[in-house]
Amino acid sequence: METSRRAFMLATAGAALAAGVNSAEAAEGTGLRLLTFERKDQPGARVGLAIAGDKVVDLVAAKKAGAALGFDPADMISLIAAGAPGLAQVRAVVAKPGETLALGDLRLHSPIPRPPRNIFAVGWNYLAHFNESETAQKAKQEYPAHPVFFSKASHSMNGPFDPIPFDPAVSTLIDWEGELAVVIGKGGRNIKEADAMGHVFGYSVINDTTARDVQAKKHGGQWFKGKSLDGHGPMGPWIVTADGLDPDKLHLQTRVNGVVKQDAKTTQMYFKIPRIIAELSAGLTLEPGDVIATGTPPGVGNARKPPEYLKPGDIMETEIEGIGIIRNTITQVA
């Protein structure tokens, strides 16, 4: 069972990565593409660097070969916390990469497989999504004056090509929400908006997959629970470092079984990243490796007429220009 599951994941990852490499090429040459992966021949997750389209530098192997790395090459959070010196060490490895691995042969985990804290998330950050929401439809409301924050439990994090559990005893109204993820590098509290971008380590793709029936008022309006089912936060395929992207000019799509459901540009964000970081950090200390999901554009299934939801066997793809694609199959649990 485990062998077939691994084969499925590798095949799925290979297909999605082959399709998404061109999407990520815009970042190559400046930003680094940092991923967490597992080799078939050696157990345990480790940090790697995607280069030359479909090759990966194994930083654990690089350290064993003598590379000077002042962080744990098996732990992305350790690299993030190392800051600019850590990234300089990675760049030194890239200059003389030595042996590389084939990207399609690896199992990719989320770049941050188990965040030390909940995933922070922003609600209603695209005005068209606010207008399509149940709240806005039932009562005429002014646009929010401040970002609306909630969180997803850390165990909702999932790999970029791993199955998303579907348990009909818990929820049958599973929805998609493709988003740009911001990864904090330099921590801080009461960060000024003008200084906020200096606290960003990089960017990734995340899908704030949501159990709408759990979130609904008839179940008590369980936002936290509706957002936090196991595996309902796939992220990846890697983190593109902040010097590799302009986060205000990215094209985002969510597709289900190849059909486009969400199609937007990050220029449409109501609250830009500096404002999000400034407001979130007011009285709340951000730490290296914190993940912020910056909000989803219109096109979610719950707002469609009639509503549409994910079902077992569906393939959900989330793609952001300059980063890449994550692809997850909705899989019913026993």
CATH code assigned at 138: 3.90.850.10
Which residues span the domain enclosing 177?
119-332
Q: Which of 79, 108, 137 is the last residue of a domain?
A: 108
Q: Do 137 and 102 fall within a single domain?
A: no
Q: Do 100 and 126 fall within a single domain?
A: no
How many structural domains are present in the chain?
Answer: 2
pLDDT band at 133 (very low <50, low <70, confident <90, very high): low
Q: Do 157 and 299 fall within a single domain?
A: yes
* Element (DSSP H or E) covering residue 226: helix 223-227
**Site of tokens 């609904």:** 216
Q: Do 103 and 224 fall within a single domain?
A: no
Q: In whole angstroms, what is the distance from residue 14 CA to residue 36 CA? A: 15
Whether residue 103 is contained in a domain is answered as: yes
pLDDT in tens, 210-259: 999 999 876 777 889 999 999 999 999 999 999 999 999 999 999 999 99
- Give the CATH number, domain containing residue 96: 2.30.30.230
Q: Dihedral of CA 228/47/17/247: which sign?
A: positive
Whether residue 318 is contained in a domain is answered as: yes
Q: Which of 76, 108, 140 is the last residue of a domain?
A: 108
pLDDT for res 182: 98
Average pLDDT over residues 142-169: 94
Q: Do 96 and 130 fall within a single domain?
A: no
Burial zone of 177 (CB within 10 Å; 0-12 exposed, 13-18 middle, 19+ buried): buried
pLDDT for res 3: 39
Q: How far, CA to CA in Å, does 44 sit from each of 41, 84, 162, 163?
A: 10, 26, 17, 20
Q: Do 196 and 279 fall within a single domain?
A: yes
pLDDT band at 287 (very low <50, low <70, confident <90, very high): very high
**AA identity, residue 230:** D
Q: How many CA atoms lie within 13 A of 46 on its CB side?
A: 22
Q: In whole angstroms, what is the distance from residue 217 CA to residue 240 CA? A: 38
Mean pLDDT across the chain: 90
Q: Is residue 52 within 8 Å of 41, Cβ to Cβ?
A: no
pLDDT for res 187: 98
Q: Do 44 and 124 fall within a single domain?
A: no
Secondary structure class of 5 (helix, strand, coil): helix
pLDDT for res 218: 66
Whether residue 113 is contained in a domain is answered as: no
User: What DSSP state is assigned to residue 330?
Assistant: E
Whether residue 114 is contained in a domain is answered as: no
Phi–psi pair at 209, nearest 5 degrees: -55, 130
Q: Do 126 and 100 fall within a single domain?
A: no
Q: Which of 108, 130, 162 is the last residue of a domain?
A: 108
Phi–psi pair at 82, nearest 5 degrees: -70, -15
Q: Do 102 and 147 fall within a single domain?
A: no
Average pLDDT over residues 40-55: 92
